[in-house]
Structure 1
């Protein structure tokens, strides 16, 4: 297939099937999008919707608060359409993501203030993004958390999955942040097959499902304490809301790199851990869809850095033991080389 624009590369991502007992884990490889994440879909859709509505004019300015992936998607679309893009980020964003946005021509504005290493400054990001947009003629604050075009960006993903699987999806397990992907995918799958179980996964410390908030390291997912859950999230399409710890998420990402040969990001690690646990417990089964929201290539300096993990005491070998058991791998399968950072903790 020969395409004419970079944004034509968005979508039509393949599915990798991993047998898990009597079930099958279907990994929708969203990391294969041109910006390396599923957020390319919604970023492109939000820009097109803003242009169609007249909010965004030719040569206009997009301003958005982002931990990185949405910003990368917006930067790609901005380049293609001749728009200016300003990304408002905080210290919690992976340096690799910020570097990619800069490489694509995005202007980076870092929020000021003293924040903990594991604290997401999303409230200040949102405030600053709105302030910047209001101060620049022809600029709009995209506001992905409350933007209906966010969820609408995932309708093509649902159509692809139905076509790729013949519609045989028994459960979907995904991370929930702004709520766009969870709402768009959850609604779409249930509209096709009402019995599909939708499981939403947030970081431990996130407040999406009303649990007490506290800082966490997982990037681009969840809603931190002090922020409000985005208007785009439709709770009615969610059957089960669960939390996953940073250690469970990050160790699962590292496990999939060492055992499967697949680099996935931290939020995907958390979703994979949760999906495998639920399959093992018998809560879900059959064809279980998981979106590989982004790749581990963006976290080489954090999640896949031994010193970074050790300094934050995020190492947990029991996660590997659980994963070996759930995936039916013969024990012992853990090598000392998998945990070189334990001695440094």
Structure 2
């Protein structure tokens, strides 16, 4: 098939399996980093722009404004190119530098929030405030507000359709990251409509407040809800069976492990989802075919979580995690 625009390349991403032999289970990774903007957020970004153009909230030639740590912003930059729109991304120091470079390369205008913030503190509240202000002040501008935008979860309908086609026999569980809640809600709702018995596990960073635990700073990017912010209206708790937390060290060491053992570069939040999925399988809480998403690629984090000096400086190394992962993925003969 010949495609006529970059956004037509969104979707139809492949899957890759990782066997967990001594538990007779399989972890299936849906490789969403293969979308043209490098993440699963391409789906919801395109969905939000199309919905805004269709209902008249965004006029031809208008301006999109959004607070983003980078992946949503990249998806919106692609959609802006397709529809001839201006795009302003409001970011903070927490965004991976390569994500900002990518948005700029695609023509996005970058606005940094002002203020003194810790390196591991996500300034999402200030980002949201500035994005809303720009959306209200600039002529023809619209603040997309992904956290409260119903077109966010709707953007993942194609993801689930693809998944059900790729794994026609059975899906027993889905383990996904939760930030705004758009992907977790959109995917979980549709999977449960297909089969209510599918277990859904949402993973947030330790320090996030999505499931009511005390907030504190964290390094994981593009996931969770930091202290001081509010959980987005798009998050539907009723479609989530269990919410769990993963530490930065567990997430980042797992991402590095998957790169060195499987040759797949995944982002830090994906490392966290993989860690929790394997932990649940190893403990017997999940079994059969368990799906999780490679939300974005490790190529965006080569100067951070894949850089030894960066990891060491922040005391994020823990070699015991690689040994733990080896144990969870060992063959039956070795387990005996």
Q: Give the alignment's TM-score, normalised by structure 2.
A: 0.97
Task: Tell me how far 1:107 sits from its aligned partner.
Answer: 0.1
Could you tell me which residue of structure 2 aligns to residue 99 of structure 1?
101
Task: Tell me how far 1:17 sits from its aligned partner.
Answer: 1.2
Match of 1:134 among 109, 133, 136: 136
Q: Is 1:167–1:192's contact at 8 Å kept on the other side of the alignment?
A: no
Structure 2 residues not aligned, in runs of 5+: none
Q: Is 1:161–1:167's contact at 8 Å kept on the other side of the alignment?
A: no
1:111 pairs with 2:90: no
Report which stretch shifted further, 290-299 or 160-169.
160-169
Could you tell me which residue of structure 2 aligns to residue 15 of structure 1?
15
Task: Tell me how far 1:75 sits from its aligned partner.
Answer: 0.2
SS for the counterpart of 1:288 is strand
1:232-282 Cα offsets, whole Å, 9 max, x none, are 000000001000000000000000111110000000000000000000000
Task: Tell me how far 1:2 sits from its aligned partner.
Answer: 2.0
Distance 2:279 2:97 in 1: 31
Q: Is 1:219–1:267's contact at 8 Å kept on the other side of the alignment?
A: yes
Matches within 5 A, 1:138-153: 138-153=140-155
Structure 1 residues not aligned, in runs of 5+: 333-345
SS for the counterpart of 1:63 is strand
Could you tell me which residue of structure 2 aligns to residue 157 of structure 1?
159
1:3 pairs with 2:3: yes
Distance 1:12 1:258 in 2: 26
Could you tell me which residue of structure 2 aligns to residue 62 of structure 1?
64
Distance 1:16 1:251 in 2: 20
Task: Tell me how far 1:131 sits from its aligned partner.
Answer: 0.5
SS for the counterpart of 2:27 is strand
Distance 1:322 1:148 in 2: 39
Could you tell me which residue of structure 1 aligns to residue 297 of structure 2?
295
Moved over 2 A (4+): none
1:121-177 Cα offsets, whole Å, 9 max, x none, are 000000000011111110000000000000000011001101111151100000000
Q: Is 1:86–1:109's contact at 8 Å kept on the other side of the alignment?
A: yes
Match of 1:36 among 35, 38, 42: 38
Task: Tell me how far 1:39 sits from its aligned partner.
Answer: 0.1
Could you tell me which residue of structure 2 aligns to residue 168 of structure 1?
170
Distance 1:211 1:46 in 2: 30
Matches within 5 A, 1:115-264: 115-166=117-168, 168-264=170-266
Could you tell me which residue of structure 2 aligns to residue 337 of structure 1?
none
SS for the counterpart of 1:289 is strand
Q: CA RMSD for the aligned pairs? A: 1.1
Task: Tell me how far 1:329 sits from its aligned partner.
Answer: 6.5
Could you tell me which residue of structure 1 aligns to residue 82 of structure 2?
80
Distance 2:159 2:37 in 1: 16
Task: Tell me how far 1:306 sits from its aligned partner.
Answer: 0.6
Distance 2:197 2:321 in 1: 30
Distance 1:105 1:190 in 2: 39
**Paired residue total:** 331
Could you tell me which residue of structure 2 aligns to residue 335 of structure 1?
none
Distance 2:179 2:236 in 1: 12
SS for the counterpart of 1:25 is strand
